[in-house]
A and B are shown apart, each in its own frame.
Chain A
């Protein structure tokens, strides 16, 4: 059961729509990594009650994650073959669901260590670009130059 204090914080903290707008600018869908938009979902005449963050590509309500978290999660799933859904067929949708699950776990960890707030990371974050895991194309000239050096 929530205390009265936390209930008040929940509903009276700030204009919810402004928070969602900031989040739409900064965050990415945790399923596909795409941009989020602020969208009218229900028919209520009150803005706070009818607006949600939405991923147009996935066509779903989606609160989003920091782009750095999505990037790391995507690498984790693709390069380390993480699979949270062994009972489901492996296809692009389950890949997205796996990335979303890793995003949730990472966001939970960052939030609990105080590194992540509603306004983003509290410290500068540098993401490894994982170039070692990716195909590197070197021309013959570049290879020759490397060898000579």
Chain B
């Protein structure tokens, strides 16, 4: 792991009207670190990551990516180094665009494509889609696809530019068992072999893989806790975050399990007492 800081926020705030979606976020990510971002619905996870990925602008505070603040001169180049998978964001942008079109847009840091696309890039996009079992859906419009297929297209979009930072916002949502295992393996390989920095947002503890060694907990747009996953994902901290008693343990493969007696907190997490 290097000491090079590739994401740094200081007192980062993002307001919508009078309401703070993010407030005073101080967060430093070094090259090669792999972060879990965990929090309840509405805690600011997607907003924080879309800001870091350059798709939203902070209202105040400092945001540096690869040592640079976003500007009109560098934003597309910086964005192309960040592979961003977020169904909740991209479903607002894409509707009838084809899978191939969407994957190719990842090369440019934009949502549309560019005249400069080469045959090699088209072959690369098709190979990625085939790898994600989307070979027969390359020309399909985004809105013809299931949620899982849309997620696979966004994963291919994120991977095509060999990103230095891979941001995955609930990537397992809508995927079937095979696709989710494949996605998790792909992410792990990227983290371990290509040395991409991974930032992984999930609601599902079973997706928390051992390589996610750092954790950021968010609550109501603020940092609730951050540090090594071992130190942060404790029964005490998670119970305090959820306002309910939680038991945290690891299975034999090192994946985190949480047991929650949520009979009184169904409205918060839609879960009642089984292992998650």
Contact = CB atoms under 8 A, between A and B. Distances in A.
Nearest to A87: B136
A117 B114 CA distance: 12
A43 B55 contact: yes
A49 B110 contact: yes
A44 B95 CA distance: 20
A22 to B, nearest CB: 11
Interface in B60-116: 70-72, 75-77, 79-80, 93-97, 101, 107-116
Given A44-B56, A61-B93, A61-B94, A10 B108 contact: yes
| Interface SS majority for chain B | loop
A106 B72 CA distance: 34
Interface size class of A (residues with CB under 8 A): 20 to 34
A46 B56 CA distance: 9
Contact of A10 (B70, B72, B94, B114): B114
B192 interface: no
Interface in B115-163: 115-116, 139, 141, 162
A49 B54 contact: yes
Interface stretch (A52-60, A72-80, A140-148): A52-60
B96 A58 contact: yes
Interface residues of B, number: 31
B57 interface: yes
A41 interface: yes
A60 B97 contact: yes
A113 to B, nearest CB: 13
Interface string A10-23: 11010010000000
Contact of A11 (B56, B77, B113, B162): B77
A9 B70 CA distance: 19
Contacts of A63: 112-115
Nearest to B100: A104
A53 to B, nearest CB: 6
B115 A61 contact: no
A47 B72 contact: yes
Nearest to A88: B144
**What 6 A-B pairs have minimum CB-CB distances, sorted nearest first?**
A45-B57, A118-B115, A60-B96, A52-B112, A11-B77, A49-B75
Given A42-B111, A52-B110, 19 more contacts: A9-B116, A10-B108, A11-B80, A11-B109, A13-B116, A16-B76, A16-B110, A41-B111, A46-B54, A46-B57, A46-B70, A46-B75, A49-B79, A49-B110, A52-B111, A52-B112, A62-B112, A63-B112, A63-B114
